[in-house]
Amino acid sequence: MKEVMQQFEDRTSQRFHEYDERMKTTRQKCKDKCDKEIQKIILKDKLEKELMDKFATLQTDIQSDSIPTCVCEKSLADKTEKFCHNCGYGLGSVAPSIGLLGGPGIYGWKTAALAAATKDAITKGLAAGEAARIKEGINAVIAGIKSTFKIEESSVRTLESIINTNTYTDVTLIRGFIQAEYSRLRCGDIGCSCFYKNPFCKFVNEGIVAISGSNGGSPEDIIETIVEEVVEGAKVAAKAKATQVAATEKLAIETAQKGAIEAASTELYTTIAYSITAILIIVLIMVIIYKILRYRRKKKMKKKLQYIKLLKE
């Protein structure tokens, strides 16, 4: 997301820089042209002074700025008027372009950023769900073996040491551990007090009787059956936990990233709005200057035409 924002800012800065370079060239050309016009005006003023001296004998109240000049010639005020008109027109065209191009550009970036954020949230959510699934599976297997077989705490600690990410679904390994405990405690020895008093031995022996009847049966069968049930139950619990954690993590990450993207896009929209407002203010000022100069030029031209008509008469 930061990379996309940085690319957008770099491109926008480059475009404004190129526009500024073009404006510098245009300003220099306008300055050179204005300098030439000023020289022409100075020369014209000299000619007006000479004409004033010649017409002084005919009409002594004619002012130097009232001497008519060729209507085709343009003064510095005329040039300034034209410059303000052209610049106002150019900047007025740039402002809508920024709004039209900047808005879709930000919208496109926002759409791409949201899609990337959603994809990233899904990936991280699945990773978090997988980690939670493994942890929940291990805890469920240990808790299931402990509560079902009613084994001692010392045996539980031994079981915890062999149950890990790779072995919590290994029925053969867990069954071997239970069988080893069954043999170690002499649960199959009917003459031992543990045959009836030890909860673990009593549970296994009662299970053997329940399955095989009074004729007896193999402890391996009952142990394997119960271990398989515990492992399957742990898998179901782990899968449910993974789904829950993945959904929660995805929602949290997606919400945070969407909030950051919305804030960034709002800031970009605000920046463009400020830029357009500044350009429109400049355009308004130039239009006002253009109107003032145009009014003064027309007024002065009307006065000069009156003098021309008077001199012809």
pLDDT score of 264: 73
pLDDT score of 96: 56
282-292 mean pLDDT? 75
pLDDT score of 75: 55
pLDDT score of 60: 44
Greater confidence, 231 or 190? 231
**What are the phi and psi torsion angles at 185 (to 5°)?**
-85, 0
Contact 272, 103 (CB under 8 A): yes
Rounded to whole angstroms, how far apart are CA atoms 250 and 257? 11
- Among the residue ranges 52-61, 122-131, 159-168, 258-267, the one predicted with the least confidence is 52-61
Residue 63 above 60 pLDDT?
Answer: no
- One DSSP character per residue, the chain reads -HHHHHHHHHHHHHHHHHHHHHHHHHHHHHHHHHHHHHHHHHHHHHHHHHHHHHHTTT-TT--GGGS---TT---HHHHHHHHHHHHHHHHHHHHHHHHHHHHHHHHHHHHHHHHHHHHHHHHHHHHHHHHHHHHHHHHHHHHHHHHHH---HHHHHHHHHH--TTTTT-HHHHHHHHHHHHHHTTTT-TTSTHHHHSHHHHHHHHHHHHHHGGG---HHHHHHHHHHHHHHHHHHHHHHHHHHHHHHHHHHHHHHHHHHHHHHHHHHHHHHHHHHHHHHHHHHHHHHHHHHHHHHHHHHHHHHHHHHHHHH-
| Most confident listed range (28-37, 209-218, 291-300) | 28-37
pLDDT digits (tens, 9 = 90+) for 198-210: 677 777 766 665 5
Select from 44, 48, 46 the least CA-distant residue to 67.
Answer: 48
Per-residue confidence band for 287, with pLDDT thresholds at 50, 70 and 90: confident
Chain mean position to CA 263: 8
pLDDT score of 59: 47
- Among the residue ranges 35-44, 51-60, 136-145, 213-222, the one predicted with the least confidence is 51-60
Greater confidence, 16 or 164? 164
pLDDT score of 214: 47
pLDDT digits (tens, 9 = 90+) for 233-253: 888 888 888 888 888 888 888
pLDDT score of 70: 45
Per-residue confidence band for 101, with pLDDT thresholds at 50, 70 and 90: very low
pLDDT score of 71: 43
Residue 218 above 50 pLDDT?
Answer: yes
pTM over 0.75: no
Long-range contacts formed by 94-103: CB under 8 A, 24+ apart:
94/19, 94/279, 95/276, 95/279, 95/280, 95/283, 98/272, 98/275, 98/276, 98/279, 99/272, 99/276, 102/12, 102/268, 102/272, 103/269, 103/272
Per-residue confidence band for 303, with pLDDT thresholds at 50, 70 and 90: confident
Select from 190, 184, 234, 193 the least CA-distant residue to 209.
Answer: 190
The residue ranges of every structural domain in the chain are: 2-130+261-312, 134-252
